[in-house]
Amino acid sequence: MFTGYSPSDIVIVVLSLLFSVGVHEAVHAYVAHSLGDDTAAQEGRLTLNPLKHIDLYMTVLLPAVLILFHLPPIFVAKPVPFDPLRVRFGEYGAALVALGGPFSNLALAAVAAFLINFGVIPEAAQHAAVIFIQLNISLFVFNMLPIPPLDGSRLLYAFAPEPIQKIMYQIESMGLLLVVFIILVLSQFIGPVLSSIGQTIFNFLL
């Protein structure tokens, strides 16, 4: 979806990203708090303020550069801290905390598409709205990958047998840089799949 973007479009991407990441991470914190864990709240992450959630390099510069070079964008924010042992329902509660983030992005895309479809957004602003929708769909699709420590892996944790969980914990300990490395190396294989899924959702919404 992210093809043919001009420098001005990149500005729209960055502004949309700041807002969308703020919502994404705030929903993580809110779900964790509602399930009994106030770790994120104590660290000031129960907020829509994007400045509390972004990392300048990983959240803003990395995806902007990848889009300019026509590579699949990778959107990474500072993870919201939470204690799975304090969340109700165990691994299932942890999965709910994780899924709250990407599904908030899907909801943002759906709302923006609804406003376009019903003519609420002026034609002059529709191009920016489309970029906003594309970005939030990408956030949803990317974060739902079942690769630790991405959000989708928590859903796999909840249902995977213990041997698989142990392997996933080992992968998660390597951090997000491993995820970035894997996706960049395998971008020619993963990129078309992610783009196809994202385009299908985009076509459905609009």
Active site residues: 25
- Residue 148 has phi, psi (to 5 degrees) of -60, 140
Distance CA 19, CA 139 (A): 12
Distance CA 94, CA 35 (A): 9
Could you tell me the CA-to-CA distances from 141 to 50, 151, 191, 193 in Å, in that order? 20, 10, 11, 10
Listed in sequence order, the DSSP H helices in the chain are 7-34, 39-42, 62-68, 90-117, 123-143, 151-159, 162-172, 176-185, 187-205
Nearest partner of 66 among 135, 168, 147, judged by Cα: 135
Distance CA 21, CA 101 (A): 9
